[in-house]
Amino acid sequence: MKHFLIFIIGFVAGVSFLLLVQLIIDFITNYSDKKVKHIEVKSKKGNATLYTGMTKESVIFLIGEPDKINSKTLKSITYEVWGYLLTNKYFNDIELEFVNGKLRRVRKKNWK
């Protein structure tokens, strides 16, 4: 009985620790997303400034149609990742992440 009680206490402590770590990671991720409000990107159409919260139509107007689109829908939330091939024909140089049609994040790859 004593070993079982120690096991349960250890299990609860481990799960609590993992949940705490996940909350910290989510907080840091959300905080860092809110710090960057705009980014300058170089596309096939030229230089453009993208802002978080922009619509997909605005992004297409500024930098053109994406080369690759990955889309997922979970419950009522639609996630899309658009990829633009600029200097490399296999890997995305720019990735734009949309949530429910609004720009959330921009990732730029630095290929050498």
The domain locations on the chain are 1-35, 37-112
Residue-level pLDDT at 79: 93
Question: CA angle at residue 94 from 93 to 99, to 5 degrees?
Answer: 150
CATH class held by domain 37-112: alpha beta
Q: pLDDT of the chain along its 112 residues, tens only? A: 888 889 999 999 998 998 888 888 777 666 554 555 778 888 778 888 998 889 999 999 998 899 999 999 988 889 999 998 887 778 888 889 999 999 998 888 765 4
Q: What does pTM read for this prediction? A: 0.62
Using an 8 Å Cβ cutoff, are 60 and 51 in contact?
no
Using an 8 Å Cβ cutoff, are 86 and 42 in contact?
yes
Nearest-angstrom CA–CA distance, 36 and 59: 17
Residue-level pLDDT at 35: 53
Residue-level pLDDT at 89: 79
Residue-level pLDDT at 33: 47
Which of 58, 63, 68 lies closest to 42 in space, CA to CA?
63
